């Protein structure tokens, strides 16, 4: 376990940070570079997955993504790029420019077992059942990190907003270092439980016949920093899949963590506006989203595009 109190930029509360800690402006020079890249692609197309930043002149864009990287690695673990004029480009062009920007931040990796590399986040109308992620519904999302059951979860998660919801869909972010500190302060007897394995529903993202559940601890130390993963809903799902109730200490620990993570004084919240890109350090912060209502017109429905970045392992889903 880590020292009794985690200090530094990663252990923040709502009252100790402001927008300036996570906002990253997108300057005209960077936009000019993206428009230049798109002009080249209109003349000489290439499939999205073959695009690489080295194929274009993107020095100003690289500076923006260096600033993003600094906020994720050495700052609060959250960055919002503000903003790209999405209305100037087609959906496919927005995908291409987002892929290029995301590739400047790190190596994109598969987000599903089938190898999906770029993922649409929108309400599909599907009922919430086994194998359906909440990200493709309009339901509230509890605080979580992405793919916590993986041995190598994504290190960074990016969401590019093409259209916000008509109502709701507010992003909320909390520092897991601060949650760790509060657990140590309020429930020191429960903190060690988070360093031992919990069962996780793998959300049917695996080969046929593989185990439906993985076992991983929520907290570990890499020798210097806290490395965290969290999604209470997937632990609850795993109980049903295994037919084995979670141990009483584990259940009590989850209740304590939820109460702390959902404390208004700990989290920041904001709406990701059209053209903004939200980036998260998936190993140090948890995020949630309020329920939302879509516009009636199909072209105005909430639509975000997600990328995952990871430096370790292969580009496959499991790494």
- Taking CA atoms, 99 is separated from 40, 103, 106, 125, 162, in Å, by 15, 6, 11, 27, 14
Backbone angles phi, psi at 37, to 5 degrees: -65, -40
Using pLDDT thresholds of 50, 70 and 90, give the confidence band for residue 131.
low
Residues 179-233 have pLDDT tens digits of 999 999 999 999 999 999 999 999 999 999 999 999 999 999 988 899 999 999 9
Q: Which domains are assigned to the chain? A: 14-309 (3.60.130.10)
Q: What are the pLDDT digits (tens) for 61-86?
A: 999 999 999 999 999 999 999 999 99
Compute the distance between CA of residue 27 and CA of residue 37 in angstroms, rounded to an integer: 16
* CB distance 105 to 279 below 8 Å: yes
What pTM, to 2 d.p., does this model score? 0.95
pLDDT tens for each residue of 174-188: 999 999 999 999 999
**114 pLDDT tier (thresholds 50, 70, 90):** very high
Tell me: the pLDDT tens digits for 39-50?
A: 999 999 999 999
3-state SS track over 71-132: HHHCCCCEEEEECCCHHHCCHHHHHHHHHHHHHHHCCECCCCCCCCCCEEECCCCCCCCCCC
Determine the pLDDT at residue 203: 93
pLDDT (average), residues 258-287: 98
Q: Using omega within 30 degrees of 0 as the cis cutoff, is the peptide bond preceding 83 cis? A: yes
DSSP state of 50: G
């Amino acid at each position: 376990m880590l020292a009794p109190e985690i200090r530094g930029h990663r252990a923040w509360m709502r009252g100790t940070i402001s927008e300036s800690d996570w906002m990253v402006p997108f300057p005209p020079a960077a936009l000019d570079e993206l428009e230049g890249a798109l002009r080249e692609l209109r003349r000489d197309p290439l499939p999205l997955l073959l695009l690489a930043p080295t194929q274009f002149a993107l020095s100003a864009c690289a500076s923006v993504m260096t600033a993003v990287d600094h906020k994720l690695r050495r700052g609060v673990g959250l960055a919002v790029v503000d903003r790209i004029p999405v209305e100037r480009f087609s959906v496919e062009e927005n995908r291409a420019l987002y892929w290029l920007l995301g590739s400047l931040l790190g190596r994109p990796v598969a987000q599903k077992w089938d190898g999906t590399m770029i993922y649409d986040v929108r309400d599909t109308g599907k009922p919430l059942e086994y194998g359906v992620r909440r990200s493709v519904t309009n339901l509230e999302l509890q605080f979580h990190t992405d793919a916590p059951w993986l041995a190598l979860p994504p290190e960074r998660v990016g969401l590019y907003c093409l259209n916000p919801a008509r109502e709701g869909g507010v992003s909320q972010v909390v520092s897991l270092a601060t949650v760790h500190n509060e657990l140590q302060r309020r429930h020191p007897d429960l903190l060690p439980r988070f360093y031992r394995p919990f069962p996780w529903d793998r959300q049917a993202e695996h080969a046929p016949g593989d185990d439906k559940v993985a076992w991983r601890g929520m907290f570990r130390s890499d020798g210097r920093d806290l490395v965290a993963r969290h999604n209470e809903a997937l632990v609850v799902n795993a109980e049903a899949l295994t037919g084995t109730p979670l141990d009483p200490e584990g259940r009590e620990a989850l209740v304590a963590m939820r109460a702390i993570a959902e404390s208004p004084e700990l989290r920041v919240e904001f709406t990701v506006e059209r053209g903004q890109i939200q980036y998260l350090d998936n190993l140090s912060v948890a995020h949630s989203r309020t329920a939302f209502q879509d516009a009636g017109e199909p072209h105005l429905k909430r639509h975000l595009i997600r990328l995952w970045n990871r430096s370790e392992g292969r580009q496959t889903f499991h790494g």
